[in-house]
């Protein structure tokens, strides 16, 4: 019974195995990135950047159709352009970076949907917005795996300055000039991970594999290393469980994965040992004389 429910879909169907590999690669790279986004209070920045890649991907779609290289290059160019533009506006005007990102993200989302609609059908628009995790080919899997490899390698090199900037940015600025370079490199990692997630989950759901597992991990530990491990594990389990849910119910695979990750977040919010809601109901020990 358990074999038919949990294992048989991946044994019987190649597209399920491909989807599982893709979701696992996204969790391996998106989990750590999401933790640092959360700790740096940049969660909404990740969401804004996910929408920012849409116009570039849409231009690639207009020129070459559903071409992996064209949509990837277009998404990367648009993501980096929006990140640089928002930073420039924040540094040269009175507008804060979060407000600048919000403005650019709304413009990007509207522009991207309009561009796709000029040539594509509703099916193409749904592909761009919500992805096709059950239709990953070899090239897309190699891209996602390559992004995961680059991300993990880069985070290993940037780990100390990123942690210091989360804990005490003032101290990092006083002892090193690596903070600005680490910040820019981290933004680049966010963009490339969103582009990888875009091909599997679409522009609207790509950030979900970053932020929901990371938010869940926050309720299980206060240690950054442990949070990264928990976030990655939650992402991997959400990917597998979401695919199984989709297979047995007929629900769309991408939204099913994000719904499972959302369920993990709600469960962590309730029962997580670090400030979970139910733990607050347990009376604490009073100091004894």
Produce one character per residue of 194-215: b if its CB has 16 or more CB atoms within 10 Å, e if not.
bbbbbbbbbbbbbbbbbbbbbb
- Whether 75 shows a pLDDT value over 50: the answer reads yes
Question: For 275, phi and psi rounded to 5 degrees?
Answer: 70, 25
Q: Which CATH number fits domain 2-275: 1.10.3470.10, 1.10.150.120, 3.30.450.20, 2.40.30.10?
A: 1.10.3470.10
**In the prediction, which pLDDT does 174 show?**
67
- Whether 56 shows a pLDDT value over 70: the answer reads yes
- Whether 285 shows a pLDDT value over 50: the answer reads yes
pLDDT-derived band at 67 (thresholds 50, 70, 90) equals confident
Indicate the domain borders of the chain.
2-275
Closest by CA to 107, choosing from 143, 78, 76, 130, is 78
Contacts 24+ apart (CB under 8 A), 248-257: 248/5, 248/9, 252/130, 253/19, 253/133, 253/134, 254/130, 254/131, 254/132, 254/133, 254/200, 254/201, 254/202, 254/205, 255/130, 255/205, 257/23, 257/133, 257/201, 257/205, 257/208, 257/209
Span 155-184, mean pLDDT? 78
Identify whether the C-beta of residue 229 lies closer than 8 Å to the C-beta of residue 106: no
Residue pLDDT, tens place only, 32-51: 999 999 988 887 778 778 88
Q: Distances from the Cα of 47 to the Cαs of 8, 39, 148, in angstroms?
A: 35, 15, 19
pTM of the model: 0.87
Closest by CA to 45, choosing from 105, 94, 88, 89, is 105
- Whether 289 shows a pLDDT value over 50: the answer reads no
Burial class of residue 273, CB neighbours in 10 A (0-12, 13-18, 19+): exposed
């Amino acid at each position: 019974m358990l074999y038919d429910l949990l294992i048989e879909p991946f044994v019987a169907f190649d597209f399920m195995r491909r989807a599982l590999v893709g979701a696992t690669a996204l969790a391996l790279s998106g989990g750590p990135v999401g933790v640092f986004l959360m700790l740096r209070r940049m969660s909404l920045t990740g969401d804004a950047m996910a929408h920012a890649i849409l116009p570039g991907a849409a231009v690639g779609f207009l020129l070459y159709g559903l071409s992996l290289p064209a949509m990837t290059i277009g998404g990367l160019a648009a993501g980096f352009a929006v990140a640089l533009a928002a930073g420039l506006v924040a540094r040269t005007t009175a507008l804060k970076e979060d407000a600048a990102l919000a403005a650019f993200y709304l413009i990007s989302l509207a522009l991207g949907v309009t561009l796709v609609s000029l040539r594509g059908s509703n099916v193409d628009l749904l592909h761009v917005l919500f992805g096709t995790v059950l239709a990953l080919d070899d090239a897309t899997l190699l891209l996602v795996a390559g992004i995961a490899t680059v991300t993990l390698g880069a985070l290993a090199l940037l780990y100390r300055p990123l942690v210091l900037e989360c804990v005490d940015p003032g101290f990092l600025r006083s002892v090193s000039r690596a903070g600005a370079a680490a910040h820019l490199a981290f933004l680049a990692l966010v963009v490339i991970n969103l582009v990888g997630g875009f091909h599997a989950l679409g522009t609207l759901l790509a950030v979900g594999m970053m932020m929901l597992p990371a938010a869940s991990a926050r309720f299980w530990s206060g240690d950054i290393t442990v949070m990264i491990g928990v976030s990655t594990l939650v992402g991997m389990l959400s990917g597998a469980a979401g695919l199984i849910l989709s297979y047995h119910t007929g629900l769309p695979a991408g939204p099913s994965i994000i719904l499972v990750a959302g369920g993990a977040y709600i469960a962590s919010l309730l029962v997580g040992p670090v400030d979970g809601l139910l733990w607050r109901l347990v009376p604490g020990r009073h100091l004894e004389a």
